[in-house]
Amino acid sequence: MLTITRVPTVLSLNQLDSPEKDAKKADKGNFGLKDIVLNEEGLADARLPLYYFLCRKTSFLSKKVRSFGDLQTVPDIDQDSSSGDESDQPRSLFDHTLLAEWENKFEEGLFRYDVTACQTKVIPGDYGFVAQLNEGRATKKRATEFRVDKVLQDFDDSKFNFTKAGANEVLFQFAPNPNEESGFEEAAPVRGAASMVLINVSPIEYGHCLLVPRITDRLPQRVDHSTALLALQMAAESNNPYFRIGYNSLGAYATINHLHFQGYYLMAPFPVERAPTAPLTKLMKRRRADCIISRLQQYPVRGLVFEIGKNLDAMAGQIGMACEVLQTNNIPFNLFIVDCGKRVFLFPQCYAEKQAQGLVPEELLDTGVNPAAFEICGHMVLKRSDDYVNLTEEFTWRLLAEVSLTEERFQEVVKLCFP
């Protein structure tokens, strides 16, 4: 069994409170999500904010994607719009709701540190890797308790999971609207198998949140068609190209074995959005189930790229199928959703495996960077001031290259995913 040094789980803010604080929270109507009890109708007495999203299963008339492999620039807005300038468009209901609720949690002091005070810069070079100095992630982030050589592991209720968070950490429930339009309610009954969006108490960036599908079902960290679709639908609710969603499997730096995706706003292009792509083969050049599948070029980590046509559900099906193959074959991976759900990157990776085997150079390990979805895509979260000051594009490339499968192994994985 391959392992990396582990530390005891850091509990959620809700669990860290004293009995006196718990009593005060109860007076305010706060409760632990594990205490939600459903009646015969599948409803709980608890009421939480609810965001209704627009169902886009069968059709999704998307605009032109922003990511075209231009190493010099990625446009800040989508110019392919009827007005010719998307900057005039109002903030979507999703963006408005998420940010308003997130800022309320910030004012309530629910985060472990002030992420808005973290230093951020673009590293000089062709790709524009983004570096952030986030010392709070070194001292106050929950560490993994799970094996790094097993992608699928049974849910363990004794370890931290999101049902142990407090209701005050919930931004809103996230559910489809039968009326086919987006909407928001400040307080709505909690239904059985509700999906929820929570704050990340150890944030990387502004608006950092967690999407937890069917939270009370206690699903392990495993992606399939339906959960991939839910993440795509969340991304599609935003009209802000700076909102991206990531996913880390176990063995690829997920720290909690309770199914969740992460999202946040970074006001800069991710370097992976600059990378060119190429068809996998002549066969893959054609559209597969309304989804174009290609591979990254000129990037330190080998990866697959899924680009939507008109069918969001079919795209989720292709992504879910690939994830199921990787999970079944015990191959760790990361997902990265950009362009408001129109484009998804998938990275099979081996960094934790190499780390456990002692194959990663010491100078790379010393940075403490755990290359998960956001780091792989170019947002380097650093925990030491010297690393932040001295980081170069060359060093970043070296670190990320250690994440990548070899070309031979990558081709084997592609054949597994698309026989």
Any idea where the domains of the chain sit in the sequence?
A: 3-417
pLDDT of residue 41: 54
pLDDT of residue 135: 81
pLDDT of residue 43: 56
* Phi, psi values for residue 324, rounded to 5°: -60, -40
pLDDT of residue 101: 95
Strand partners, 196: 173, 212
Q: What is the CATH number of domain 3-417?
A: 3.30.428.70
Distance of CA 109 to the CA centre of its chain: 23
Q: Write out residues in the chain with pLDDT < 70, as ranges.
A: 1-31, 35-44, 56-90, 137-148, 282-290, 310
Catalytic choice (208, 258, 260, 379): 260
* 225 included as an active-site residue: no
Do residues 162 and 33 lie in contact, with contact meaning Cβ atoms separated by under 8 Å? Answer: yes
Report the distance separating Cα 306 and Cα 251, nearest Å.
22
Report the distance separating Cα 143 and Cα 34, nearest Å.
21
Report the distance separating Cα 23 and Cα 38, nearest Å.
23
- Angle value at C-alpha 338, between 208 and 134, nearest 5 degrees: 35
User: What strands, in cross-sheet order, belong to the sheet with 277-279?
Assistant: 183-191, 43-53, 170-176, 196-199, 209-212, 261-265, 243-248, 333-338, 343-348, 304-308, 291-296, 277-279
Sign of CA dihedral 159, 161, 163, 169: positive
Strand partners, 131: 121, 380
Do residues 44 and 37 lie in contact, with contact meaning Cβ atoms separated by under 8 Å? Answer: yes
Strand partners, 252: none
The pTM for the full model equals 0.87
Report the distance separating Cα 87 and Cα 97, nearest Å.
19
Q: Kind of pairing, strands 343-348 and 119-122? A: unpaired
**Of 200, 158, 168, 172, residue with least CA distance to 22:** 168
